[in-house]
């Protein structure tokens, strides 16, 4: 009696792992571009120590996929990123004291927002797309 053999090869796990590694590698390269752009951003203040504190988290998986976070470890970075007092471009939450309202009303008070992290996002996203297209033709 003739017999036949059927050989099934499940490559999904291999391909999934390969895509996962390639995605993490692309995220790492894009993060390096983002950090480089943020650190070399032209700023109006002497904040090299704040810029040198920019860090990247390792790639991790969330419910929506893989992600990394680029952040400045120095607590002063938020003041230079978003500005202070009258120059602040982000909504201020909570109760403000009369002194803070008076200071904010003065023209030219506060730190002008530098947006070094915000401006670094677009080049990082472009680099991510470029690297992903290279990995997945």
What pLDDT is recorded for position 43?
A: 86
d(CA 33, CA 124): 6
Compute φ and ψ for 65, nearest 5 degrees. Answer: 135, -160
Residue 31 near residue 68, CB atoms below 8 Å? yes
- For 60-99, what is each residue's pLDDT tens digit? 999 999 999 999 999 988 888 888 766 665 666 666 778 7
What pLDDT is recorded for position 87?
A: 60
Q: Tell which phi-psi region holds residue 65, choosing left (phi > 0), alpha (psi between -120 and 50) or beta.
A: left
Neighbours of 18 (CB within 10 A): 12
Q: What is the pTM of this model?
A: 0.75
Quote the tokens at residue 28: 């790492």
Quote the tokens at residue 96: 């403000």
Quote the tokens at residue 91: 């909504």
- Enumerate the domain spans of the chain: 13-135
Residue 111 near residue 16, CB atoms below 8 Å? no
For the chain of 137 residues, list the mean pLDDT of each consecutive stretch of 10.
82 89 94 95 88 93 92 90 69 69 68 87 95 88
Residue identified by tokens 């109760």 is: 95
What pLDDT is recorded for position 127?
A: 95
Spell out the residues 6+ positions from residue 30 whose beta carbon is closer than 8 angstroms to its own: 68, 124, 125, 127, 128, 131
């Amino acid at each position: 009696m003739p017999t036949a053999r059927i050989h099934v090869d499940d490559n999904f796990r291999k391909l999934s792992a390969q895509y996962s590694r390639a995605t993490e590698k692309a995220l790492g390269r894009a993060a390096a571009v983002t950090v480089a752009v943020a650190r070399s951003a032209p700023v109006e203040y002497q904040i090299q120590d704040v810029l040198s504190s920019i860090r990247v988290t390792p790639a991790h998986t969330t419910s929506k996929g893989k992600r990394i976070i680029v952040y400045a470890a120095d607590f002063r970075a938020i003041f230079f990123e978003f500005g202070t007092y009258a120059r602040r471009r982000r909504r201020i939450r909570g109760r403000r004291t009369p002194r803070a309202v008076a200071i904010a009303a003065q023209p030219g008070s506060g730190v002008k927002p530098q947006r070094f992290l915000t401006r670094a996002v677009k080049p990082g996203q472009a680099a991510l797309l470029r690297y992903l297209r290279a990995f997945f033709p």
